[in-house]
Amino acid sequence: MSRVFAYGSLMGDAALSRYRAWPARLPGYHRAFLHRSERRWGRPGAPCPILGLAPGGECWGLVFDVPNADRRTVLRALENRETAQERRRETLTAETPDGPVAAWVWLSRGVDGYGGEADLETTEARLRAAHGVVGTGAEYVRTLVHAMGVHGIRDPLIDTLWDRLRG
């Protein structure tokens, strides 16, 4: 059995949706808008800020059980989506109600020149300006809120941005 820790839109991704999942805490990292999407959620002139994991704090997400028979298929799908030179896959320990488990986690390699953890107003403005082939920056945040909310996971940064964007 392999395990995947998901902390953003990956929590609702089709590649993982059929597998058992449960809430988990990843100590030592927090959600931050560290990267940009210039196709899916934004475009080159108005990229959409997207989540990464930054050092410090904690991050609540989901751990998915991936059976060994599906490991290669799932890993290939996630590597194509998550790596993109911005992230690296590591195996870290996530804390679950059943105890600690080793899980694949895609960590940010650093910022991609987009400004890293920008202030709330700058991030909001960038999200409002973004529009890509999948949707807008506001819709990206809505997918995060939905993916987390289904499992009772909250994040003050995401909640604050969603309140501002939908208002």
CATH (domain of 38): 3.10.490.10
In-domain check, residue 167:
no
Q: For residue 10, what pLDDT is reported?
A: 85
Residue 157 has pLDDT above 80, yes or no: yes
In-domain check, residue 21:
yes
pTM equals: 0.87
In-domain check, residue 44:
yes
- Segments forming the whole domain that contains residue 14: 2-158
Phi, psi of 162 (to 5 degrees): -65, -45
Number of folded domains that form the chain: 1
In-domain check, residue 163:
no
In-domain check, residue 165:
no
User: Percent of the chain, pLDDT > 90?
Assistant: 60
Q: What's the rounded Cα separation, in Å, for the pair 119 and 167?
A: 19
* Closest residue by Cα to residue 26 from 140, 139, 153: 153
92-147 pLDDT per residue, tens: 999 999 999 999 998 887 655 555 667 899 999 999 999 999 999 999 999 999 98
Q: For residue 85, what pLDDT is reported?
A: 65
Q: Which residues make beta-bridge pairs with 94?
A: 101
In-domain check, residue 82:
yes
Q: For residue 113, what pLDDT is reported?
A: 53
Q: Which of residues 53 and 87 earns the better pLDDT score?
A: 53
36-63 pLDDT per residue, tens: 888 889 999 999 999 989 899 999 999 9
Q: Which residues make beta-bridge pairs with 79?
A: none
Q: What's the rounded Cα separation, in Å, for the pair 16 and 21?
A: 9
In-domain check, residue 11:
yes
Q: Which residues make beta-bridge pairs with 147?
A: none
In-domain check, residue 164:
no
Strand ranges (DSSP E) for the chain?
Answer: 2-6, 21-37, 48-66, 87-96, 99-108
Q: For residue 79, what pLDDT is reported?
A: 78
Q: For residue 84, what pLDDT is reported?
A: 60
